[in-house]
C-alpha cells in the first residue's frame, strides 16, 4: 500500500472494521462467544471471508447452514455488548491512520461499513477519529450490502463526488468487489495475520 497517491481522487472512502480499526480479532472473539452460547459455530476463515456482511445476515446464514433456530436480534445485541466490553483494547491500523491524517481537511472522507452506526461510532471515538469523517454510511443506510455497490454509491452521493473520483480502502474481497462494481478504485488492506508475517 505504500506510495499510494491520493492526489487525483476527490474523496476517500474507508471500511471501518479491519481497515481503519484493527477490530476484526475483537469482533471474532465477541462473535464466537455470542454464537457459542446457542451452540452455533463460526469458523475463523468464514468470519474473515464474510467481512462486511451485516450481523443479522451472518446470524441467519449460519442458522440456515447449521439447522439452528437462532434468535437473531438477541444474538446480535449480545455480540455487540461483548464487542463493546473488548473495545478498550482497540487500535488503529497504522498505514490507514497515516492516510486519514494526511488527507483530513484536504478532501472529503467517509466511512462505509456493514456494522451498526453505534458500533462504528464507538470504534472511531475510541481511536479519536470520529471528527475526521464527513459522513458515516452504516448498516441500515442502504438496502443491499457489500458486495453490492450500493453502500459506496450512497457515500459518494452524500459527499457529492462522482464514483470514478473516489478511492476505497477495504480489507475484504466483498468490499473490493463492491468498490469495483461502484466504478471506484480501491486499495486492499492486509488482514491481521498478513501484517504480522510481512517483512518490515
**Catalytic annotation, residues:** 15
User: How many C-beta neighbours within 10 Å does residue 112 have?
Assistant: 34
55 Cβ contact list (under 8 Å, min separation 6): 76, 79, 80, 114, 115, 116, 139
Strand, coil or helix: what is 185? Answer: strand
**In the block, which residue shows the cell 480489507?**
171
147 cis-preceded (ω within 30 degrees of 0): yes
What cell numbers appear for 84 in the block?
A: 463493546
Residue 92 is given by DSSP the state: B
Let me know how long the chain is. 200
DSSP 7-50: TT-SEEEE-TBTTTB--HHHHHHHHHHHHHTTT----HHHHHHT
Cα 45 to Cα 79: distance, rounded to the nearest angstrom: 18
Amino acid at each position: 500500500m505504500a506510495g499510494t497517491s491520493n492526489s487525483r481522487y476527490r474523496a476517500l472512502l474507508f471500511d471501518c472494521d479491519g481497515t481503519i480499526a484493527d477490530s476484526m480479532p475483537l469482533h471474532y472473539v465477541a462473535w464466537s462467544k455470542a454464537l457459542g452460547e446457542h451452540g452455533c459455530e463460526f469458523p475463523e476463515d468464514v468470519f474473515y471471508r464474510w467481512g462486511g456482511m451485516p450481523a443479522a445476515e451472518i446470524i441467519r446464514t449460519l442458522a440456515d447452514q447449521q439447522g439452528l433456530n437462532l434468535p437473531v436480534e438477541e444474538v446480535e445485541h449480545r455480540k455487540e455488548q461483548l464487542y463493546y466490553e473488548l473495545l478498550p483494547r482497540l487500535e488503529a491500523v497504522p498505514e490507514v491512520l497515516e492516510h486519514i491524517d494526511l488527507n483530513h481537511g484536504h478532501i472529503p472522507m467517509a466511512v462505509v461499513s456493514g456494522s451498526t452506526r453505534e458500533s462504528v461510532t464507538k470504534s472511531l471515538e475510541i481511536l479519536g477519529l470520529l471528527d475526521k469523517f464527513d459522513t458515516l454510511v452504516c448498516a441500515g443506510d442502504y438496502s443491499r450490502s457489500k458486495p453490492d455497490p450500493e453502500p459506496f454509491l450512497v457515500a459518494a452521493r452524500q459527499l457529492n463526488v462522482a464514483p470514478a473520483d473516489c478511492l476505497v480502502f477495504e480489507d475484504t474481497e466483498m468490499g473490493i468487489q463492491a468498490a469495483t462494481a461502484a466504478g471506484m478504485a480501491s486499495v486492499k488492506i492486509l488482514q491481521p495475520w498478513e501484517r504480522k508475517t510481512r517483512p518490515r
